[in-house]
Structure 1
């Protein structure tokens, strides 16, 4: 696909004070590489409830491709999750000056969405192309969170050991083929550590710092 998801920004309403006390927050950074050159960075903040479920994620990313031309890609997305299910999404992607605006709301039967002002309907069994969610590995129907295109994929899993920060990390490697070509690595805690996927026609590697 020409456009693939790079980042995810999730924003939820404030929970009651008692619930907030049971939340845990983690801030992480990931670097974006084109071949061996670092071309961008992602700042990811994850908030989980006492059951370990993701309630909120915040990410900001900026990518610039340097060469014969300068190409910029930035993305901010807001999502609400409850009980592991996507409830709402709203965001904007700037793909070298081309703006993509999206919004989505879950109801009992489907997702009601808009892309650049056009109304769309997405099935509830479609999962967003967010590399940060381990649950993406259980879904063979995805939707692109740049433009809401539906994507049918096949997924293969193998055990793999990769180096992160000079240390060997045991992971599960998931290879996505079909309408979305990607490779994602998750550690023993089912947390993202590395990804390889397409961004604006270029294959990039994202590695957790």
Structure 2
């Protein structure tokens, strides 16, 4: 397998690859309680039925591992860790690492920070709420987004209502169209446009499975453990 082929392996930075019109939690979020009830979701990342990495969400209240933005005791904190390595005959051909933190208050995103190494391409994203908007930087360049947007991490139950998502890898605003194939809470929906994902959720509206095309046409699957 050539390295050039492996560089095409993954598209869109896993779940974070990148809604306006939402003023706080919508109908789906209200039905599902707005935030996940548990404190951790862990997924195997698979390609051709082989595990190539891990994708882990950690949920907490008022605390986080990185001191990136001011937070209140009642803030809801989402941390995402992705580690993927693809090798051949003992040689690493592709590596992807991603760390992100979201801070939520009153149903709205207050801050988003992320650092990504996409096989040598580095991304650093910083957003904080300023009034009705999110402002910050992407790799040091000024960036801005609407204050009611959802990140493309997909955990939020209002994601099927998305028309745009904030890409947590490159910080861009990505237009999407969502089709609900089965209603929540045990739902199934598909995103197309700037981000392509097929997503399944359980009776608690938690993610259970995500499938999307890689750049080389193969399918990447996130399967919850």
TM-score range, shorter chain: 0.7 to 0.9
Question: Could you tell me how far apart the structure 1 residues matched to 2:174 and 2:54 are?
Answer: 26
Contact 2:165/2:173 (CA < 8 Å) preserved in 1? Answer: yes
**Secondary structure of the residue that 2:57 maps to in structure 1?**
strand
Say whether 1:36 aligns with 2:57: no
Of 126, 133, 142, the match for 1:119: 142
Contact 1:134/1:186 (CA < 8 Å) preserved in 2? Answer: no
TM-score (norm 1): 0.76
Show the counterpart of 2:221: 205
Q: CA deviation at 1:80?
A: 0.7
Say whether 1:4 aligns with 2:13: yes
- Determine which structure has the larger strand proportion and give its number: 1
Q: CA deviation at 1:149?
A: 1.6
Instruction: From the superposition, tell whether residues 64 and 198 of structure 1 become closer, same or farther in structure 2 (CA, over 3 Å).
Output: farther
In the TM superposition, 1:1-209 aligns within 5 A as 2-6=11-15, 26-47=39-60, 55-67=76-88, 70-159=93-182, 171-197=186-212, 203-209=219-225
Q: Deviations over 1:139-186 (max 9, x none)?
A: 2111211112221111111229xxxxxxxxx93111011111111111
Q: CA deviation at 1:28?
A: 3.2
Q: Deviations over 1:43-85 (max 9, x none)?
A: 3222369xxx981223322112335961010100122101221
**Secondary structure of the residue that 2:186 maps to in structure 1?**
strand
Q: How many equivalent pairs are there? A: 183
Considering Cα pairs closer than 8 Å and 6+ residues apart, tell me whether 1 or 2 has the greater RCO.
2
Q: Which runs of 5+ in 1 are unaligned?
A: 9-23, 161-169
Question: Could you tell me how far apart the structure 2 residues matched to 1:127 and 1:25 are?
Answer: 20
Q: Which runs of 5+ in 2 are unaligned?
A: 1-9, 18-36, 63-73
